[in-house]
Chain A
């Protein structure tokens, strides 16, 4: 058994054990911390920066999904400062790509859109980048639309860890980063893709979708991936 530790979340004492992350302990205690890149059942990477929390004695904000608990830790999950930075992180995601919610396959079923509503983001204070990005239609069943991608890398992780194919990766740097398929070739030419569609199901936005769906029609089922991963004993 891992060693037991005691931490405080928003002032309340919570029992946890070593190796757990702040997010796991908070969720087990019924506390809500906003997340986008995190998905139960696959590994955590701290990409979206929405789950940032304050840890007393630490001068910077830490992502709850990748920070392990330590005995005596005191964590704040809701504050004006956190709200401020979470909104900024979310606004950057909107400004960076072309998210026309109104004409997206995932409209009304999108985690990014829902998060904006949840965090009360009604506009983006930064100038939009309006980048020119490709749409990969080469796969017979699925579409990759880089315009909607937030680089959460859920697709990368589910493919490598649950499906075991590792078709996806991140190519490029900074704002030029793109999800790439099978060492940067069109999805239709990928030799390792098993056409399982797990990447589509875990994608929080309309970046990965099934063909043949119109605006608002693409509903994802990421719970199935979590269940599947649990049966296999969690993330690798």
Chain B
């Protein structure tokens, strides 16, 4: 049977959703047999591959880099899954949204620093004005809320997706 080309992406989040993904005990073995992980923090690929079946996004869209990544992902993925509250609602990364990025960075890296004062400018992507949920930038096919979503919920989602079905998550998951 043809394996499902799966990518996972870590944007503005804490990696807790990826931890939860790895926390599904022996179910992960059954799923591993059916998928080919082609991109993500768990594999070495540097560039987002062309033609991906399912991409799981953890984290809010918070920087210019996140924005470009998410647009590329949408173009190259058949199905996009927003995993966890940050990807679904912006959650904790969105708590900065009331403060303009310049003020925020100055508060932290200038006022709040004892040494090496100065807003980092090189090698880091510019922050967007607000951290937003993935679906405010591109179309999302499936939302899996939770902080993190329970491992069983992720297991259920992946099991259904590898079978070619869209999981019905209504009332199985919650925010927070």
Residues of A within 8 A of B (CB): 94, 98-104, 107-108, 110, 113-114, 116-118, 120, 122-125, 127-128, 130-132
Contact indicator A102/B94 (Cβ below 8 Å): no
B154 within 8 Å of A (CB atoms): no
The residue from B97, B144, B170, B171 contacting A130, defined by CB atoms under 8 A apart: B97
- Segment 112-147 of B: residues with Cβ below 8 Å from A: 130, 132-133, 135-136, 140, 143-145, 147
B108 within 8 Å of A (CB atoms): no
Contact indicator B174/A123 (Cβ below 8 Å): no
When chains A and B are docked, how far (Å) is the Cα of A114 from the Cα of B171? Answer: 9
Extra inter-chain contacts (4) besides given A94-B175, A122-B144, A127-B132, CB under 8 Å:
A94-B89, A100-B91, A102-B91, A118-B171
Given contacts A122-B145, A132-B98, contact A116 B89 (CB under 8 A): no
When chains A and B are docked, how far (Å) is the Cα of A120 from the Cα of B133? Answer: 19
Contacts of A99 in B (CB 8 A): 89, 175
Contact indicator A101/B171 (Cβ below 8 Å): no
When chains A and B are docked, how far (Å) is the Cα of A104 from the Cα of B147? Answer: 12
A–B pairs, 8, beta carbons within 8 Å: A102-B85, A120-B170, A122-B143, A122-B173, A123-B82, A124-B133, A130-B130, A131-B98
The residue from A113, A128, A130, A131 contacting B174, defined by CB atoms under 8 A apart: A113
B145, closest chain A residue (CB): A122
Contact indicator A117/B140 (Cβ below 8 Å): no
Contacts of B175 in A (CB 8 A): 94, 99, 101-102, 113, 116-117
B170, closest chain A residue (CB): A120
What's the minimum C-beta distance from B73 to chain A, rounded to whole angstroms?
17
What's the minimum C-beta distance from A83 to chain B, rounded to whole angstroms?
10
A114, closest chain B residue (CB): B174
B16, closest chain A residue (CB): A102
Interface SS of chain A: loop
Contact indicator B95/A123 (Cβ below 8 Å): no
When chains A and B are docked, how far (Å) is the Cα of A125 from the Cα of B89? Answer: 10
What's the minimum C-beta distance from A50 to chain B, rounded to whole angstroms?
16
Given contacts A117-B174, A122-B143, contact A102 B92 (CB under 8 A): yes
Contact indicator A122/B170 (Cβ below 8 Å): yes
What's the minimum C-beta distance from A16 to chain B, rounded to whole angstroms?
31
Interface string of B62-93 (1 = CB under 8 A from A): 00000000000000000000100100111110
Contacts of A116 in B (CB 8 A): 174-175
Contacts of A110 in B (CB 8 A): 176
Contacts of A118 in B (CB 8 A): 171
A107, closest chain B residue (CB): B176
Contact indicator A102/B147 (Cβ below 8 Å): yes
B42 within 8 Å of A (CB atoms): no
Contacts of B144 in A (CB 8 A): 122
B22 within 8 Å of A (CB atoms): no
B99, closest chain A residue (CB): A132
The residue from A101, A108, A120, A132 contacting B85, defined by CB atoms under 8 A apart: A101
The residue from B82, B95, B171 contacting A100, defined by CB atoms under 8 A apart: B95
